[in-house]
A and B are shown apart, each in its own frame.
Chain A
Amino acid sequence: MMRRTTLLTGCTALALALGATACGGGPVTPAGGGDKALAGQTVTVAGVWTGSEQKNFQKVLDAFSAKTGAKTQFVSTGDNVSTVVGSKIEGGNAPDVVMVPQVGVLQQFAQKGWLQPLSTTARQTIGADFASVWKNYGSVDGTLYGLYFKAAHKSTVWYSPDALAQAGVEPPKTYDEMLKAGHTVSDSGLAAFAVAGQDGWTLTDWFENIYLSQAGPEKYDALAAHKLKWTDASVVKALTTLGKLFKDKQLIAGGQKEALNTDFPGSVEKVFGPEPKAGMVYEGDFVAGVAHDQFGRTIGQDADFFAFPAVDGGSAPVVSGGDAAVVLKDGKNAKAGMKLLEYLATPEAAAVWAKAGGFLSPNKKLDLASYGDDVTRATAKSLVAAGDSVRFDMSDQAPAAFGGTKGAGEWKLLQDFLGDPSDPKATADRLEAAAAKAYQG
């Protein structure tokens, strides 16, 4: 049985590897300029990026080539990084550098012994230029493997400045102020919030922001690692706080039932679409992208954000995500790969993508003037200013069965909670039951 399983895995790996090489080969960048220390070597980089993200990252790689003379090749892995990279390693065709999109994946790679610890230079840069929280999220068992090159800011509440001006309210500073402002917006005839209840992940983000601010970073970490049970009083309290918003018909566009029928793009449309139905929508910095690309809003003018407000006297939460660069042991040019990583750690590299847009860097040394527009600059500033209080998206740290599956686990239970927020205690019990099952498996 064991041998057959291996055979099967081998076949799948082969198929995947073939598929990946067939469709994922990016253009090989020619060398030019710089000191040419790495001339003649090709660094292969794998990552989830496609489309404009891939294009912009290529600009960073081009800058690296210009500097060092090394050729670079970007391979897009699609959503499932760990499967593709795993099969490439088995097939003896490992990329040199991988951009991993989740903390869990980085840990998984490190535990399998695929990763090379970062060089002294890279370690020093990260130690000096990054908040130590990024170092921690890049380390496994005390060894630093990953450099967070690109980050996401998930504590931004986006609003239509027109709607708030019409209602005569200012961006709030606390959660209670936000609910009060919401009521005023609702008095003006527009619902306060568009909630994307059909996409469970937006609800987990709501919860994580409230929990991080209300219960504090220590408890947040404990809950993320499931060292703290979901039945803890702090969870019930956060759910009650969230329920205050969820159960208020005046605060949610169309009430709970309509919220459960709204997906994420739909919720952005409710605020920034041609027929606004709500004044505010909470989600990460990528809301700006949707508002701009799909609904033609000028960011900073027709769409702006305020930081997710502090809850119950806590400090304002900064929930984040990001892509970390790691170097694989099995890469053919792992040494050149490490050089690329050292380059990515510099503000110079971050500035290249920052100029192109759609990018936040956790690097403290990056000049904020590098960002293309004021709103991105403000998000970046808030992210860097948060320093060590930044926390990674909790559901991304959890096993997929709990934190990342449509119609199951945390997604489903928070959707049920949105439908009926009357009993936070029971929801906490159910969350614990689901978490216990997923973390043990």
Chain B
Amino acid sequence: MIKAKINKVDVEVPEGTTILEAARKANFTVPTLCQHPDLTPEGSCGLCVVEVEGFPALRRACVTQLEQGWVVNTNTARVRNARRELVELILSDHDTDCLTCIKNSRCELQEVARIVGIKEITDYGKKRKKAIDLTSVAIVRDPNKCILCGRCVEVCSEIQTVNALTLNNRGFETTISTAFNEGLGNSACVNCGQCTVFCPVGALYEKSHTDEVWKALNDPEKHVVVQEAPAIRAQLGEEFGMAPGTIVTGKLHAALRKMKFDAVFDTNFTADLTIIEEGNEVVDAIKTGKSLPIITSCSPGWIKFMETFYPHLRDHVSTAKSPQQMFGTLSKTYYSELKGIPAEKIVSVSVMPCTAKKFEAQRPEMRASGFQDVDYVLTTRELGRMMREAGLDLKDLPDEPADDPLGEYTGAATIFGATGGVMEAALRSAYFLVTGRELENLDILPVRGMEGVKEAQVPVDGLNLKVAVAHGLGNARKLLDKISGQLSETGKSDYHFVEIMACPGGCVGGGGQPWGSDMARRARRGEALYQEDKSLPKRRSHENASVGKLYEKFLKKPNSEKAHHLLHTHYNRRSKVDGKIVKEK
């Protein structure tokens, strides 16, 4: 243990503790900007400087480990002036139109400016005006807001291992951009949106569809249907000041109805459907001796990552579309037929915890209904904004059910939103498909939780089903390299079924989630989904009666020709340089 003094208070901390951690433990707030609980501290912003007696220069608290006998002062005139000057320098080259900024009142720089006591924005000279990057269909990057803290670069390279973003040039000319500054839409970016979650300011955010959705809602000619992803019910509350992990399913449905959506459905319905299609695919593959494993296909960030970095595993990825896309297709075919509403009048909107869903919706192959299957994708944050515009506070709303026939769901669908959830849901149904009996203990605990790569063996009659789950693309890479190695060495892999989610924590950690989340918050949201699962009367996808009816009336049977046409897709190979499809020879 290390004994030291911080602001005259005796502290005792384990060796290796930083000054920042020790100060926080002693209840002293040291302002930070580049520091983030889920990232390795880089000390790039310099805001956390403190005075250490015996050292002439100020030290950065986030990267300096406390040593025996040190006397640290976090609050001296020199420290306060240094911090203020630093924030003034950042602000002197920062686009300070805070009132119109997407991060207004949620901005960490705003908060820091308040804490260090900025009274005016001093002109230190040169100010740069740079072009906003609008090349991506999912993510907007505004370099005029960027403070060069490097969090986005770190999450993109260290956690996601995509390396779309990088620090270019140096000194005053330093910028964060893609290679050759060609824009996110022309890079390896997989649209996961983690950069938007980690950005402390308004430099990275989703490409908004709110105007288009308001327009559709106001158009009497249009029939606007909406679906909400499993994770939304565990996140949206945070937009309205509720505790992380508060389940708001009923209030969410009520809010959407009050916003005048013509039909309020639930992505959970097609999550159950996905399990039936994907589950049958896995069972068929095992029975017919197809090359294993089968890898899940729900996460569009993962799909683009696979197309770019692991195209040789394409044939292992389930052809089942994601629940969002299955819903989109069915809203313009099955539902259109059922209600006698022409598909061209239907506007299909989704609410997703995800920025990559915006990319997925506009893929040219996602038009099985003859129209773009999902017209607009709103992130959790965008829905929060629209609700505030509409004068709705989630906390005040009653609990309402979703509409039929695309609203019923089981607990298996709800847990899709957490890492391991798709795997657990699939196992619950696969067991039934193989044995004809129901799995008794539905809680498959080894696939739950925040560990990066999880493995489990599930006995299904004579077969020992070996499964693996990875979340966050860096973790996915570890698992995929192992599987690729097995496949190239022996021609087969140990694993039968693999779940991969692009974002750490799964969809509850998605790139469209409320600002200011960290891994701890993601974990709480995931736990909340397991709570909802436990509370539901039906917890197996094959028990969803509306899904049963859909097969009976429309699709005939799982993996039927019609199901294949409407609910399955194919994958491409993409360039690592610009992310564009590479034509096959």
> Are A and B genuine complex partners?
no
Listed in ascending order, the chain A residues whose CB lies under 8 Å from chain B are: none
